[in-house]
Structure 1
Amino acid sequence: MSDWGPVFVAVVLFILLTPGLLVQIPGKGRFIEFGNFQTSGASILVHSIIYFALMCIFLLAIGIHMYIGSYFFLNATVTPLASSSKSSENHFRQALLTFSNSKPTNTSFLSLTQIGKETTPSDRRGCCGVVFVEKWLLQRQDWRGQKMADWAPVLIGVVLFVLLQPGLLFQLPGHNRQLEFGSMKTNGKAIAIHTLIFFAIYAILILALHVHIYTG
């Protein structure tokens, strides 16, 4: 299943924290100005810091997730042969191969159940007792089960937040022309179009390309 939580949070914060739409810190004449549709390098820097802090809180500390799709469970039974450890190993490998090719990968479970009591030590080494493997844990957690922080949604969101701010590098549409560069101004149409561009690029990087940056 696809986790739309980071995309939803990133897009909503992009809209709310765009300087000049709801608020600008610092403003042109005062420390805080509301709805002036102006921007500046200082305000983009301040709003980027706020954006980074809120992304860390919502995605890393709270861990907001929005899954779209259905769960799929795959159960595989492995019966090792007492007379041949190689046969049990082949069963085990085949079950893992079937599991690795299952869809969707985020919520696929593998249950390997050893049937038969009279197995050799070699058999037990290949398949012992009941083994549960959750593919999502293999991708996002270390072998002890401790959760690893994925900073990709946060860092990608911050970079795109800065680069796609209307009026900083470009503004589409501009006030006088269809495309303006470095105008340090914005408008409602430009914010809407830049939000769509932000959503498209962010969704491609996070959901389609599955970019991950793990720490820990």
Structure 2
Amino acid sequence: MEPDQVKQAVVVGAGIMGHGIAQVLAQAGIEVGLVDLHQSCLDHALNLIRGNLQTLSEHGRVAASAIPDILARVHPSTELAAAAQGAEFAVEAVVEVPQAKKEVFQQLEAACAPTTIIASNTSSLDVFSLAEIAHPERLVVAHWFAPPHIIPLVEVVPGPRTAPEVVRATAGLMTRLGKRPVVLRQFVPSFIVNRIQSAIFMAVSQILQNGWASIEDIDLAVKASLGIRLPIVGVV
């Protein structure tokens, strides 16, 4: 798969992450099948996308005239097999329940061409161990952050059998979408950001448990220092 040639994708799961991922793909000119078990969830997702685009338009990030075409590229469906037909890139964005993800991987493999990349949006699960698919070389993690139409980072994580070209193509597609991909060299639980966030949480918990500072002062300490400095100086 060449990132600049992707014309069709499918996103399974129309919740907090799925609707935003579908929106970003549609903004890049890609036709997107957005799948959910419930029509009510799909209706809500389309309303959220419409609202997101309107807000972006009000801030000059999306032309108002482009909104109808973007919305027209999102194709809601309760039928995964039909929505996945012809997709070159598939995104699993269902709840963090292993069995649910396992079933989606199996359905995507049955519905998609052998060359279709299957990208999981899991934030920590070892999907490579739980996925029972015939072509594990095409399974990769592409972990977005909420709200996905705003936050630029996407963590791209290979499994032990993920093909190098799948990692390259996934990172390339994220760049095409206007995202900032980072590629891990191997799977580790929680990846990069959630590991760092967990370390911060542990430090904050220690300060609170020992009564060294109040919640308000801890928040202020981070927001008025690290929150400003980190985007400039980084952590290394």
With the length of structure 2 as denominator, give the TM-score of the two structures: 0.24
RCO higher in structure (CA 8 A, sep ≥6): 1
More helix by share: 2
More strand by share: 2
With the length of structure 1 as denominator, give the TM-score of the two structures: 0.26
